[in-house]
Amino acid sequence: MLRTLQAEERAATDVERATLARWGSWGASGVAEVFDESRPEYEADRAELRELLDGTEYAAARRTVINAHYTDPAIATEVWGALTALGFQSGRVLEPGSGAGTFIGLAPDGAQMTGVELDPVTAAISQALYPEATIRTESFADTRMPGGVFDAAVGNVPFSRNTLHDPRHNAAGHSMHNHFILKSLALTRPGGVVGVLSSAFTLDAQNPAARREMAETADLLGAVRLPTGAHRRAAGTDALTDVLIFRRRLPGEGPLDQGWVETAPVELNGAQGRMNAYFLAHPERVLGEPMIGNGMYGAATLTVRAEDLTATGPRLGEQLAEITAQAVAAGRGMAERSGEQELEVAALIPAGEQEQIGHITDRGAEGFTQVTIEKVHAPLKVARTRHGELRALLGLRDEARAVLTLEAANVDDTPELDALRAQLAASYRAYADRFGPINRFTERRTGRTNEAGEEILARITPPAVALLGDDPFGPLVLALEHFDEGTGTAAPAGLLSQRQVQPRKPVLGWTLRMRPWPSPWTRSAPWTWPISRPCWAPMRPGRVSRWGAGL
């Protein structure tokens, strides 16, 4: 199906979207078993899958089996309802571990969604389903964005005791679900809100270190514990989960009650366990009867028994409505973005561009690095007197890329696009006032003549501009002005004032159909295989010889 859409260069119809939306994840029951090498009955299927996926994609699919469980739309709807009740109307929203896009599909019209999904197959499906969203195919641990770039974050974080390497956002080595929450809080601006589903261990773990770190910058407005089995129908798992609603504190605000940081021993049905102090103070937030017994994690597992799992959505909505009403009454609803919170562009740049050969990165006080043909960020020698100009040029590059990205993703000019374009124009004026035209040059005599006897002059480009010439998007910076070589003057190009590109067509892939797994839902759902997102960079013949070994 995806191959047809690609060949015909069109968006999916409602019927085709419905088919794509039936993708249930590698972790779904009946699919995850295929990756179990001890199951000989799936050997033929494993062999076929290895033929269809390259080594990286197969490894990514296998790696996500343990935590690729997607969200019941009824639950996701209530989480979004809580964020809107707190005041969210429009803005940039992060979804870490976005899967096939349940939260993206249910987002309010004003939400500008950025999803981060490790598995390339699932990421391609979500991009085809929701072409207006930005989907970054990468580990969330590798996501590099400035702090506070998002107005809100939402999603179902992956549950795992595994620890991901992320020195900036997980220096303490927290489990994956806590790491994702902490990083989401860091990427959400002060006054912004975060609504996530997480493992019950986030609140119930005896070690309070992760909760204390969360409480340093955010308040837990409230939590609701879902019954065991709430995700059974949608994800095939009985993991015990909580819906957590956070708000980043504004500068100068004091913390709300932090009792939720601690746990306390409890006795349930004659067995000993621990539970978060928040639920002991608010037993109505537990949607069922808490018990200790056999469960996913052994004989002493906390479970929550509910008679009617189909009522989970409405009951969750009732509790979240109380939580959000109390927060708004206390003046802890979502705050508007202040003028001092500058518009950041890094989150709008496709993640892979920073790994392209020649890409230059500003490391602040550490100087600059450039990606080599070995895909290593190597130090780039830049005279200190040139740091200011190169830094300004890189800023123009990133702002221009952000403008083009938004132009391609939106049919109409949005307030965010207008703001970015104005920011780019202001940055260009500041550069020109300080350094002169980007394309300026000087000439020097070479002492040589051409066949007509005319003196040959050498054209000298400013060193910082010359360095940018090796960057794959360096020519975009040169194109920001119309330069008159005769007079040495320049005028801003059209990108600084008006739309230059039309919305791009969805990046789609092609479909490979496999025989169905022994699970009812897969018998009519095709396997999908993504293509890489297209990437364009200017061809510079003079550099092909240097880069050829890496192409």
Same domain flag for 59 and 113: no
Region 292-309: what's the mean pLDDT? 78
Question: Picking from 222-226, 365-369, 439-443, which range would have the lowest pLDDT averaged per residue?
Answer: 365-369
Count of structural domains, the chain: 3
Please determine, for residue 531, whether its predicted confidence score (pLDDT) is greater than 70.
no
Cα–Cα nearest to 522, from 31, 72, 33, 128: 31
Q: Both tokens of residue 161?
A: 């005791």
Give domain status of residue 340, yes or no: no
Residue 542 placed within a domain: no
Task: Give yes or no for residue 516 having a pLDDT over 70.
Answer: no
pLDDT band at 366 (very low <50, low <70, confident <90, very high): confident
- CB 156 within 8 Å of CB 80: no
Contacts of 511 (CB under 8 A, 6+ apart): 1, 2, 3, 4, 526, 527, 528, 529
Does 498 share its domain with 508? no
Residue 493 and residue 359 share a domain: yes
pLDDT value at 26 more than 70: no
Give the range among 5-14, 71-80, 110-119, 148-157 with minimum mean pLDDT. Answer: 5-14
CA dist list (Å): 148 to 93, 153, 190: 11, 11, 7
Type of residue found at 514: M
Per-residue CA distances from 257 to 49, 182, 291, 317 (Å): 51, 19, 27, 23
State yes or no: pLDDT of 547 exceeds 50: no
Mean pLDDT of the 55-66 span: 61
Phi and psi at residue 523, in whole multiples of 5°?
-70, -20
Least confident of 16-20, 106-110, 368-372, 473-477: 16-20
The residue with greater pLDDT, 190 or 541, is 190
Identify the residue with better confidence: 316 or 374: 316
Q: Contact at 8 Å (CB) between 220 and 248? A: no
Residues 257 and 386 in one domain: no
What does the chain come to in residues?
551
Which one, of 401, 390, 449, lies nearest residue 424 by Cα? 401
| Three-state secondary structure string covering 376-419 | CEEEECCCHHHHHHHHHHHHHHHHHHHHHHHHHHCCCCCHHHHH
Q: How far apart are CA 502 and CA 333, in angstroms?
A: 37
CB atoms closer than 10 angstroms to residue 215: 18
pLDDT of residue 122: 82
Q: How far apart are CA 93 and CA 187, in angstroms?
A: 10
Q: What CATH number did the domain enclosing 268 receive?
A: 3.40.50.150
Q: Comparing 42-56, 207-221, 452-466, which segment has the lowest mean pLDDT?
A: 42-56
d(CA 4, CA 69): 28
Residue 10: per-residue pLDDT: 63
Residue 248: which domain range? 73-329
**Per-residue confidence (pLDDT) for residue 128, from 0 to 100:** 80
What are the structure tokens assigned to 541, written together? 């013949």
Do 323 and 185 share a domain, yes or no?
yes
Flag whether 466 is in a domain.
yes
Q: pTM of the full predicted structure?
A: 0.61
- At residue 539, the pLDDT reads 39
CB 195 within 8 A of CB 270: no
Residue 339: inside a domain, yes or no?
Answer: no
- Give the other-Cβ count within 10 Å of 524's Cβ: 9
> Last residue of a domain, which of 275, 301, 329?
329
Whole-number CA gyration radius for the chain: 26
**pLDDT value of residue 506:** 43
Residue whose tokens read 């910076």: 477
Residue 297: the pLDDT is 55
pLDDT in tens, 318-343: 999 999 999 999 999 999 887 555 44
Same domain, 86 and 57: no
Identify which has the larger pLDDT, 487 or 365. 487
Name, in order, each residue with C-beta under 8 angstroms of 494's C-beta and a sequence gap of 6 or more.
Answer: 500
Taking residue 334's Cβ as centre, other Cβ atoms within 10 Å add up to: 23
Are both 270 and 291 inside the same structural domain? yes
Which pLDDT belongs to residue 16? 73
| Whether residues 82 and 18 fall in one domain | no
For residues 349-365, average pLDDT: 78
Same domain, 240 and 219: yes
Q: Mean pLDDT, to the nearest integer, of 181-187?
A: 97
Examine the domain organization and report whether 264 and 119 are in the same domain: yes
Q: What percentage of the chain carries pLDDT values higher than 90?
A: 45
How confident is residue 31, by pLDDT bands cut at 50, 70 and 90?
A: low
- What integer pLDDT is reported at residue 444 of this predicted model? 84
Query: CA distances (Å), 456 to each of 272, 445, 453, in order?
Result: 89, 7, 9
The pLDDT score that the predictor gives to residue 247 is 99
Report the range of poorest mean pLDDT among 43-52, 188-197, 394-403, 523-532.
Answer: 523-532
Q: Is the pLDDT of residue 22 over 90?
A: no
pLDDT of 513 reads: 36
Which among 272, 302, 329 is the end of a domain?
Answer: 329
Average pLDDT, the chain: 81
Same domain as 448, residue 414:
yes
Rounded to whole angstroms, the Cα distance separating 180 from 79 reads 17
- Rounded Cα distance between 417 and 283, Å, is 46
Q: Within a domain: residue 165?
A: yes
Answer yes or no: is 386 within a domain.
Answer: yes
pLDDT in tens, 424-450: 999 999 999 999 999 999 888 888 888
Q: What is the DSSP string of 308-350?
A: -GGGHHHHHHHHHHHHHHHHHHTT-SPPPPPTTSPPP-GGGS-
Instruction: Tell me the H-state helices in 188-263.
Output: 201-204, 209-217, 232-235
Residue 551 lies in a domain: no
Query: Does any domain span residue 311?
Result: yes
Instruction: Give the position of tokens 């609701």.
Output: 224
* Residue 353 or residue 497, greater confidence: 497
Evaluate if residue 49 carries a pLDDT over 80.
Answer: no
Q: What gap in Å lies between CA 380 and CA 475, rounded to an integer? A: 19
pLDDT at 481 over 50: yes
- 10 Å Cβ neighbour count for 354? 15
120/211 same-domain check: yes
Specify the pLDDT at position 470: 86
